[in-house]
Structure 1
Amino acid sequence: MIISRKHRYIFFPIPKTGTHSVRQALRESMGEDDLEQVGLFVQKRFPFPEFADITHGHISAREIRPVLGDEVFDDYLKFTFVRNPFDRFVSYCAFMSRGTPHFETSPTAYMKHIIREMRPVNHLLYLPQYSFVVDAEGRLTTDFIGRNETMQASYDQLCQRLGIASRTLDKVNSSKHRPWQEYYDRDLIGWVSELYQKDLEMFDYRFE
């Protein structure tokens, strides 16, 4: 997460949406009093005791709002980037199998194993995307939502709203795999649809 006092924004980086490149670009325009919480590639922490034991940078709207206060939270521009849940689940499974041949040799079977047997419902990277950016009533708190599928165009649009210079995003921490559609059969489509139903509805995604 980045909280920019200079440009008055809050960036909610949702796991497995490819936003390390956005973080990297945004750092170039951050002010001395801006804050960042991150635990990959760069180690930074918020000066808030509420997050002292959190080693990652994926803090939700419901967690940060009471710390910043309603006035700051409501006044700052809040944004995030989202990704097709079917694509994101492939990326998650590829990540979870690192160091083993499971995903590479039997990807669909491994994906089914995760969703039907492992069921890592509390794993940070497995959580639905909406859970990071809704309030206690389940309403979206963001003012701008970029898309992984059009990352550069979304970032250019975001920078225009923030009044900062845009630039070409670097590729950071991207996984290598075939087009995500190739990993699915009918059963897996149904299970992932059920798991991430709210993401599909809220961010207007589908299997296509």
Structure 2
Amino acid sequence: MIISRHRRFIFFAVPKTGTHSVRRALRPHLAEDDLEQVGLFVQKRFPFPELNAIGHGHLSVRQVHPVLGAETFDNYFKFAFVRNPFDRFVSYCAFMSRQTGSFEVAPQAFMRHIVRDAPPWQHVLFRPQHEMLVDAAGRVAMDMLGRVENMQADYDRICGHIGIPSTKLEQVNASRHRPYMEYYDDELRSLVARMYARDFELLGYDADGHADTR
């Protein structure tokens, strides 16, 4: 997460949505008193003990809002990137098995194991995206949601809102895998769609994983 007091924005870093690419592009435009919390590649923590103790930068609206207070939170431009849940789950599986190669050898078996036998709900990279982005009433509390499927163009639009020049986003910490649709059969699609049902509903993805761009 990045909180820019200078430019009055909050970037919510949803896991597996290109967050490190966005962080790297934003950092040159941060002022000395701007804040970042991150635990990969760069180690930075917020000066707020309750957030610092979490130990990573994937913080949610419901964690941050009470610390910043309603006035600051409501008056800052809040944005995040989201991703087709089918694609994001493939990326998660590839990332988590990068040492063992289990996904590469038998991808569907590994995916079924995760969904059916050992869903790691405690792992922040696995949890539904919307959980980071909704307020206490369950409403998405962002001023803009960019999409991984349209990442550069959406980042360009965000830069316009926060008043910085856009740059080409670099690819950072990307998982290696084939196009996500090659890994699914009907059963797996159904299992993953049920697991991330609220993401599909709140983030504007249809049953095929296509984004609503209206």
Which of the five TM-score ranges fits, normalised by the shorter chain? over 0.9
Corresponding residue of 2:67: 67
Kindly indicate whether residue 87 of structure 2 is the aligned counterpart of residue 87 of structure 1: yes
Q: Aligned letter for 1:110?
A: F
After superposing on structure 2, the runs of 4+ consecutive aligned residues of structure 1 that deviate more than 6 Å are none
Corresponding residue of 2:126: 126
- Aligned residue for 1:109, secondary structure, equals helix
- Aligned residue for 2:11, secondary structure, equals strand
Q: Which runs of 5+ in 1 are unaligned?
A: none
Residue 150 of structure 1: how far off its partner (Å): 1.0
Corresponding residue of 1:112: 112
Residues 134-173 of structure 1 aligned to structure 2 (within 5 Å)? 134-173=134-173
TM-score by length of 1: 0.98
Residue 101 of structure 1: how far off its partner (Å): 2.4
Residue 176 of structure 1: how far off its partner (Å): 1.0
Q: Aligned letter for 1:52?
A: N
CA RMSD of aligned residues (A): 0.9
Paired residues of 2:51 and 2:64 also in contact (CA < 8 A): no
CA distance in 2 between partners of 1:170 and 1:23 (Å): 10
Number of residue pairs the alignment of both structures matches: 208
Q: Aligned letter for 2:68?
A: L
Corresponding residue of 1:30: 30
Corresponding residue of 1:53: 53
Deviations 1:113-144 (A, max 9, x none): 00000111121111100000101110111001
Residue 96 of structure 1: how far off its partner (Å): 1.2
Q: Aligned letter for 1:26?
A: L
CA distance in 2 between partners of 1:114 and 1:193 (Å): 14
Corresponding residue of 1:42: 42
CA distance in 2 between partners of 1:101 and 1:69 (Å): 45
Kindly indicate whether residue 103 of structure 2 is the aligned counterpart of residue 103 of structure 1: yes
Kindly indicate whether residue 78 of structure 2 is the aligned counterpart of residue 78 of structure 1: yes
Corresponding residue of 2:19: 19
Q: Aligned letter for 1:47?
A: P
- Aligned residue for 1:78, secondary structure, equals strand
Paired residues of 2:146 and 2:155 also in contact (CA < 8 A): yes
